[in-house]
Amino acid sequence: MRRKDICPLFSRCGGCDYSLSYKEELQRKTEYVHSLFYSHCPTYETIGSSPTRYRNKVASTFGYDRKGNIISGLYIKGTHHLIEKRDCQLEFEEASGILRAIRRLMKSYKMRCYDEDARHGDLRHVLLRKGHRTGEILVLLIFGSDRYERKKEFANSLCDMCPEITTVCYQVNGEKTSMLLSEAPVHTLIGKGFIESRLFGLSFRVSPTSFFQVNADQTEVLYDMAMHMAGLHGNEKVLDAYSGTGTIAIIASLRAKCVTAVESNHGAVLSAIRSAKDNAIENVSFVEDDASLFLKAEAARKERYDVAFLDPPRSGSDERFLSSLIKLSPEKIVYISCNPETQERDLRYLERFGSYVPIAIQPVDMFPRTAHVETVLLLVKGKM
């Protein structure tokens, strides 16, 4: 059944894939996962999220409409045509008011929208992020050039209009690219330059450019399920592979003897180390390396792990990683995935070349209205 409250931009924006009732959408997601895993193990019903206002990160592009009014929104999928987005139901409540305030202030401050083709003007995009359970709000202004001088005054007026904002930063991205962010440094105009998000009572710093789950409520549900499947008692030696900003490793460290986390992205490893420090956690070590290479070296050193978590990117893991994981011989593997197809492929490898038995797969909806579904799969070591 099609929803009655369907968004007027549904077919043009490209952000949503489903216009069904949320109940039906969840059923479809369960059926999809079941269709991939039915010959391996039971599929539990998809755990739903709040279908609205779940996004704590909002990106908006600035430009002009035909009448020359400032608008903020997004390019229609695959085009260079900007459409106005007034209030997206998936985004956090304060976002639309802050974007409106920016549009108004731009007029009084004579700040122009950046024109990508002509390569002149000022403001190009805005990125907003809201901290989970702290309510802190970060505004990142992305300029097309460094020409505009009254950035600080502009930021002050914006905070006067929207007192919920806790920090304002800016970055210059003059490159001809559809990417929002550039490699250029981020400068802080007001506040501490980052926000804090709390998950499981732990605090995580979220900088303007760092990775953090966009649906934090549901991240707690996902990781809770992963911890439940792992069944940690406090004595285990744990591996967290593809550990990103270290959230799983840090959460697991409270329930295990020690955790080793491996991740190839330098910035993510730095954030993870900082979060562990902020939370006074001392039993996690973060390794910056390719996960497959690191696991191969661990296997050569005859290391053993009791439990292994892995949360690879959409492309999944690879045979080098999986063959080393089999050698490390953990009793349990908890495989979190944002792409059940590559997860099923990797599962086949673990079943065929290891003695691993899949117990169950739990889909968790992290992105209502979109075609994405996240899954947690539990495997235990069977007899050889």
The beta strands (E) that lie in the chain are given as 57-64, 70-75, 82-84, 123-130, 137-143, 165-172, 187-190, 195-199, 202-206, 237-241, 258-263, 284-288, 307-310, 332-337, 356-364, 374-381
What whole-number distance in Å separates Cα of residue 130 and Cα of residue 54? 11
Name which of residues 3 to 22 contact ligand SAH (CB under 6 A).
none
Name which of residues 171 to 200 contact ligand SAH (CB under 6 A).
none
Name which of residues 196 to 215 contact ligand SAH (CB under 6 A).
211
Name the strand (E) or helix (H) holding 194: none
In the complex, minimum distance from the CB of residue 320 to ligand SAH, in angstroms, rounded to a whole number: 9
CA torsion sign for 34, 364, 242, 379 is negative
Place of tokens 């559809």: 178
Cβ proximity to ligand SAH, 93 vs 341, nearer residue: 341
In the complex, minimum distance from the CB of residue 197 to ligand SAH, in angstroms, rounded to a whole number: 11
Name which of residues 285 to 324 contact ligand SAH (CB under 6 A).
290-291, 311-313
CA distances in angstroms from 140 to 134, 166, 193, 273, listed in the order given? 18, 11, 9, 24
In the complex, minimum distance from the CB of residue 97 to ligand SAH, in angstroms, rounded to a whole number: 29
Among 30, 72, 207, 247, binds ligand SAH (CB under 6 A): 247
Cβ proximity to ligand SAH, 63 vs 363, nearer residue: 363
> Would you list the DSSP string of 231-274?
T--S--EEEEES-TTSHHHHHHHTTSSEEEEEES-HHHHHHHHH
Give 4's DSSP letter.
T
- 338 counts as catalytic: yes
Site string for ligand SAH, 30-69 (x = CB under 6 A): ----------------------------------------
In the complex, minimum distance from the CB of residue 303 to ligand SAH, in angstroms, rounded to a whole number: 17
Cβ proximity to ligand SAH, 138 vs 252, nearer residue: 252
What whole-number distance in Å separates Cα of residue 216 and Cα of residue 333? 24
In the complex, minimum distance from the CB of residue 249 to ligand SAH, in angstroms, rounded to a whole number: 8
Per rule CB under 6 A, is residue 267 in the interface with ligand SAH? no
Among 263, 306, 346, 374, binds ligand SAH (CB under 6 A): 263
Cβ proximity to ligand SAH, 75 vs 211, nearer residue: 211
Cβ proximity to ligand SAH, 190 vs 338, nearer residue: 338
Q: What is the CA radius of gyration of the chain?
A: 23
Per rule CB under 6 A, is residue 375 in the interface with ligand SAH? no
Name the strand (E) or helix (H) holding 348: helix 340-353
Order across the sheet with 123-130: list the strands. Answer: 82-84, 70-75, 57-64, 123-130, 137-143, 165-172, 187-190
Selected range binding ligand SAH among 69-77, 230-238, 239-247, 323-331, rule: CB under 6 A: 239-247
Chain positions contacting ligand SAH, by CB under 6 A: 211, 242-245, 247-248, 262-265, 268, 290-291, 311-313
